[in-house]
């Protein structure tokens, strides 16, 4: 009987402790951090226009004051600010997040981590968007013109883009005429390039931006692509002016099959090479010069050279290995012609040889060859 009484007393004590703990928890309450949205999509943003901002609104839906202990981002380009004071139950607050697009063309996805005394102590916010560039143009500069319309560039360079991805650049226009509106039509013969808008009217002194989007397909050829975009301009008297803007793009393969960086380190190739060759100053009558570039595969997989090119007629690619196995090297052979510099009247050249490969760390590499001549 004594043992039974002790057992009953023990059970009663445990029950009282549980009831007391429950009552204490109810009295203590809890904070709840409830966001209206946890994802913000900026869409397309202009690199040269500076940082962009968004707000994440939240409410404390709990029963005690909410305190945000810290808010961090996963990149120095993303800066959050948040209220330091406690948020009372039922009250609202906001977290402001800024993103700096300078030097970061292309798509971005950034996370912001919010830590608090809420039941869920850590919550994630997401910002994303696409940074468009002027394709190599300087801020506010108009470097060419077609009739009464000035253009920011006559060449537009798309960011390096992999298969199944999209990249964008912008072309700035300015109507410099004093005699009325002009109509600008833009035509792309390349099915991969879309222009928005395709037709636009500009009043005197009115600027505008055209967005050119490159939509790379799964079967788009890997390598360098140069495609013209035609501009047709009609002034208010019906006079027609025609011009051309050259678009340049580099398509690399899609490396998303690598699950993480550790897998890349274990299995991916890696290209190592010297990227600058100075041939000095030679007499104009000098014979052709040969340059040999050793390309080393210091990675773990088979290195494949997908595409090589150089736009300068004085530099010719003679030969290169299409594949280089792990731990070995191959030779890229280049011919440089001083006679071409003499014919063109050039004093010097320093063109790039573009190499597109399957190295996920750097799928586009450039080798610069410099030569000067004495006329």
The 10s digit of each residue's pLDDT in 269-306 is: 999 999 999 999 999 999 999 999 999 999 999 999 99
What is the third-level CATH fold of 31-130? Immunoglobulin-like (2.60.40)
- 0.75 surpassed by pTM: no
- 142-250: which CATH architecture? Sandwich (2.60)
Please tell me the predicted confidence (pLDDT) of residue 189: 81
**Residue-range domain boundaries for the chain:** 31-130, 142-250, 265-371
Do domains 142-250 and 265-371 share one topology? The answer is yes
> Which residues, including other chains, have CB under 8 Å from residue 172's CB and lie 6 or more apart?
134, 137, 142, 151, 152, 207, 208, 209, 210
Task: Name the superfamily (CATH) of residues 265-371.
Answer: Immunoglobulins (2.60.40.10)
- What band does 136 get if pLDDT is binned at 50, 70 and 90? low
Tell which residue, 360, 364, 222, has the closest CA to residue 299: 360
CA dihedral 172→176→180→183, nearest 10 degrees, is -30
Please tell me the predicted confidence (pLDDT) of residue 25: 40
Distances (CA, A) of 298 to 197, 261, 265, 324: 47, 16, 11, 10
The 10s digit of each residue's pLDDT in 139-181 is: 445 788 999 999 988 999 998 889 888 888 888 888 888 878 9
């Amino acid at each position: 009987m004594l043992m039974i009484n002790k057992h009953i007393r023990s059970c009663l004590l445990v029950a009282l402790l549980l009831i007391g703990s429950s009552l204490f928890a109810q009295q203590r309450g809890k904070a709840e951090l409830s966001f209206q949205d946890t994802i913000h999509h900026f869409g397309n943003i202009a690199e040269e226009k500076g940082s962009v901002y968004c707000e994440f609104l939240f409410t404390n839906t709990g029963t005690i004051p909410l305190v945000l202990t810290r808010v961090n981002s996963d990149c120095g380009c993303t800066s959050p600010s948040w209220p330091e004071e406690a948020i009372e139950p039922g009250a609202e607050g906001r977290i402001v997040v800024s993103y700096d697009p300078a030097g970061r063309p292309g798509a971005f996805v950034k996370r912001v981590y919010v830590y608090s005394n809420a039941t869920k102590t850590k919550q994630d916010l997401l910002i994303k968007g696409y940074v468009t560039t002027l394709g190599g143009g300087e801020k506010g500069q108009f470097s060419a013109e077609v009739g009464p319309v000035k253009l920011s560039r006559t060449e537009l360079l798309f960011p390096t883009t992999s298969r199944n991805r999209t990249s964008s650049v912008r072309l700035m226009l300015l109507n410099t005429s004093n005699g009325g509106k002009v109509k600008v039509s833009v035509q792309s013969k390349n099915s991969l390039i879309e222009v928005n808008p395709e037709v636009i009217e500009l009043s005197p002194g009115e600027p505008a931006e055209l967005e050119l989007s490159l939509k790379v397909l799964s079967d788009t050829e890997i390598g360098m692509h140069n495609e013209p975009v035609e501009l047709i301009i009609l002034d208010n008297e019906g006079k027609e002016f025609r011009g051309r803007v050259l678009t340049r793009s580099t398509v690399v393969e899609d490396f998303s099959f690598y699950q993480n960086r550790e897998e890349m380190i274990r299995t991916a190739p890696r290209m190592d090479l010297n990227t600058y060759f100075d041939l000095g100053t030679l007499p104009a009558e000098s014979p052709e010069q040969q340059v040999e570039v050793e390309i080393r595969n210091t990675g773990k997989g088979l290195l494949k050279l997908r595409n090589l090119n150089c736009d300068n007629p004085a530099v010719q690619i003679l030969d290169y290995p299409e594949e280089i196995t792990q731990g070995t090297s191959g030779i890229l052979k280049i011919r440089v012609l001083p006679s071409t510099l003499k014919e063109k009247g050039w004093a010097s050249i320093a063109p790039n040889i573009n190499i597109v490969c399957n190295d996920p760390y750097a799928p586009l590499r450039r080798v610069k060859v410099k030569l000067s001549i004495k006329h």
